[in-house]
Structure 1
Amino acid sequence: MAGVGLDQPFFDDKNRAFWILQSAGWTGYFILRSLSGFSNSMGLVWLVHTALLTATGYSLTLLMASLFRRLIAMKPIWTLVLSLAVVVLAATAFSIIETWSVATFLKPNLELGPRTYLSAILLDFALLAAWAALYYGINYFLLLESEIKQRERLESQASTAQLAMLRYQLNPHFLFNTLNSISTLVLLKQTERANAMLARLSSFLRYTLANEPTAKVTLAQEVETLKLYLEIEKMRFEDRLRPHFKIEPETIGARLPSLLLQPLIENAIKYAVTPSEDGADIWINATRQGQGVRIEVADNGSAEGADLSASPSTGVGLANIRDRLTQAYGPAHGFATQENDKGGFSVIVEIPYETGDKDT
């Protein structure tokens, strides 16, 4: 099939498709008219007459196609009017040639006059109008298909840009606080702690830059990144920050947008750990539920996190997470916030279970 060009869409090469359809159409016209003549005992001379008409129609439609390629770019009203005029002129020429052929090959005694030359114009007009309608129908379909593909590309690019924008909206407070803590450690001449904190910050930022903003990572990779982030924060808060991970083995291969959970941890630190002298516990739980994965980030703070989505100071916040989930999964996800039985705040994310190769 590849040898005859059927390994690609038929209209990928529009020029080739035109010649194939043009030749096939007029070949069919020649065969049908020939069979019609033979069925009426017209003799072999009918083939000469039919061949002449076929060549005439083939040539006229080539000229029409050349004109239509220019007319199709005009305003619809001008395309319609001028195309109709072209079809009328072509049908007139076709009728004159057909009448001359009849008088020459089939009816030598036929008296020729203006009315005689136009005797076949209605049938010829119908034939050429049908050809023109098919020509415009195919080309408008191809134009529509091209517009749809272009719109899909633009929508895809817009979606990718939005995902990238959302992904890059990391809270600048985190970076500011971390650098401020490093500066303080340097002033206190605690160089080992400062170097350790700087190394962890460097690793975390390297991860954020190395991964494509629209890419998905495994839950195992996301958890490792969260642990790296928490190690940085734990150097600031020490024992006041108490993270707990409970990740079921069945979920570690699930894929999700990179750094999806980091803003949730950051908000939990801001609203649960920072205000309390005793700090707070933060739980990150992931469980497999049917064809999906349920991820919960919970704390035992004061449940003030319920205001995150409305607060402009939370950086990406809950609104950003909702947008990223919508972009990544459409309606096939769940997102909920609630006060939990520990007296704190919980964010629950439910996503389809996807792996790198296929969904399961």
Structure 2
Amino acid sequence: MDKLLAEGDARRLPDLGIALKSILGFWLLYIGLITLRALVLQYPDFWAMLGRRCFVVLAGMALTFLVYLAMRLVAKRGLAAKAGLAALLCLPVSLLFTAFNYYVFYVYAPLDAVKMEQERNAMGWSPLEMAARSILETSLSWFFLFAAWAAFYVAMSYARQLRAADRRAGALAREAQEAQLRALRYQINPHFLFNTLNSLSSLIMSQKTEVAERMLMNLSTFFRATLSADPTADVPLEEEIKLQRLYLDIEQIRFPKRLSVEVEVPDNLLLARVPILILQPIVENAVKYGVAKSRKPVTVRIQAYEEAGRLHIKVKDDGEAAPPGNGEDGGTGVGLANVCDRLTARYGAKAGCLYGADPDGGYTVHLFMPVVRE
């Protein structure tokens, strides 16, 4: 409830903090400068004048706050509307403040120094004429003081609105990116799951229950590790490699004599962070289109190295390359596109994918991204 009330007050009094701080700062600066001048010029009745100045400054703060309250009418309008209203408001406020200042110093119990000044400037003027002349002459100076505060307040208020708009835009962009990453990430599991369930079905139909049980346990471990992770998180490359080894262990049950695995990752890159399961569709494609469709033993090799501040990861199989025209990534239009989209969403132009059939047979996918170790 308190939070809702506070939010309601903030809507009724926009930029209240900026207004109060700027009002206090402007008027304290004024009284500090005018008091310093009085000390330097050794004005008479210093302490009595100082007391009246403080009283007048309090009135000035109140009038400035009234200007702020009146400007709430254009709180949601553009810069031109705020500046125009501020200029209009400062004119009557400066006249009112000048009249009050004149009354405090020249009408209400004038001090000796003020009386001497009045006598020097009288020049045959009546008291009313002299008051009007003094108010009109000095109101212009006060107008610029109020206008200076209003300009400062409008600028700070507008800057705060721009910062708030930037924060909202940034938050929306991050939310959109996270939503995209989650959507791309969740495209992976059904694809892999359907393939594995088909393999389990084949093993059970072949009465290979022990092998099927081992594959099921590996599958359970794999999904426990992957589904509990944040889809937008980054993980150490070492952990990503372990997940791929776990997947390949499942596939080696299907292809015990046809699939072998090699991993070449230097120790200094084991802690480099990568998007979780970024290699999964690539490794899956290597098995699906390199191993499953080959009649000879196939090696799936995962290699990583660092070059020019970027992490490079290659996944290569030496199976029979897919015939031209069967899809840009060896037969699938989703897996590799998913990986490239995730890298672009995560790193922008600093990351990318290269892929294609090798001249000596097989298929290679080359990922590159910034090296991040923390």
TM-score range, shorter chain: 0.7 to 0.9
Distance 2:330 2:356 in 1: 20
CA distance in 2, matches of 1:182, 1:130: 78
Q: What's the C-alpha RMSD, in Å, of the aligned pairs?
A: 3.0
Question: CA separation in 2, counterparts of 1:55 and 1:248?
Answer: 71
SS of the aligned residue for 1:244 comes to: strand
Please give the alpha-carbon distance, in whole angstroms, between the structure 1 residues aligned to 2:141 and 2:213: 91
Where does residue 26 of structure 1 map in the other structure? 27
3-state DSSP of counterpart to 1:253: coil
Of 212-221 and 231-240, the range deviating more from structure 2: 231-240
The answer (yes or no) to whether the contact 2:322–2:330 under 8 Å persists in 1 is: no
Which one of the candidate residues 210, 213, 235 is aligned to 1:195?
Answer: 213
Task: Say whether the 8 Å CA contact 2:199–2:254 is kept in structure 1.
Answer: yes
| Equivalent of residue 90 in structure 1, options 88, 93, 118 | 93
Q: 1:315 to 1:191 in 2, by over 3 A?
A: farther
Query: Taking structure 1 as the reference length, what is the TM-score of the superposition?
Result: 0.83
Partner AA of 1:56 in structure 2: A
The separation in 2 between residues aligned to 1:156 and 1:230, in whole angstroms, is 34
Return closer, same or farther for 1:305/1:237 CA change in 2, 3 Å cut-off.
farther
Aligned to 2:224: 206
Is residue 296–residue 349 contact of structure 1 (8 Å, CA) maintained in 2? yes
Distance 1:60 1:19, change over 3 A: same
Q: Which amino acid aligns with 1:170?
A: I
> Which stretch shifts more, 34-43 or 234-243?
34-43
CA–CA separation in structure 1 for the residues paired with 2:300 and 2:264: 11
Alpha-carbon distance change, 84 to 287 in structure 1, aligned in 2, over 3 angstroms: closer
Given candidates 54, 57, 61, the residue that maps to 1:54 is 57
Matched residue, 1:176: 194
Preserved CA contact (<8 Å) 2:340 2:352? no
1:111 aligns with 2:114: no
Contact 1:197 1:232 in 2 (8 A): yes
Which residue pairs with 1:263 in the alignment?
281
Task: Find the aligned partners of 1:90 and 1:130 in 2 and give their Cα distance.
Answer: 13
SS of the residue corresponding to residue 360 of structure 2 reads: coil
8 Å contact kept, 2:311–2:371: yes
SS in 2 for 1:68: helix
Identity %: 33
1:290 Cα shift? Answer: 6.0
Corresponding residue for 1:43? 44
Q: How does 1:177-256 map to 2 (within 5 A)?
A: 177-256=195-274
Deviations 1:147-172 (A, max 9, x none): 22222222222222222222111163
Q: CA deviation at 1:244?
A: 2.3
Change in 2 beyond 3 A, CA 1:136/1:154 = same
CA shift at 1:260, angstroms? 0.9
In the alignment, structure 1 segments of 5+ residues that lack a partner are 1-13
| Offset of residue 264 of structure 1 | 0.7
- Kept in 1, the 8 Å contact 2:329–2:356? The answer is no
Asked if the contact 2:231–2:276 (Cα under 8 Å) also holds between the matched residues in 1, the reply is yes
Equivalent of residue 164 in structure 1, options 182, 187, 192: 182
**Local SS of the residue matching 2:70:** helix
- TM-score (normalised: structure 2): 0.80
Distance 1:75 1:263, change over 3 A: same
In structure 1, what is the Cα distance between the partners aligned to 2:164 and 2:240? 39
The 2-side partners of 1:55 and 1:287 are apart by 69
Show structure 2 runs of 5+ residues with no match.
1-14
Return the letter of the residue paired with 1:65: Y
Distance 1:146 1:186, change over 3 A: same
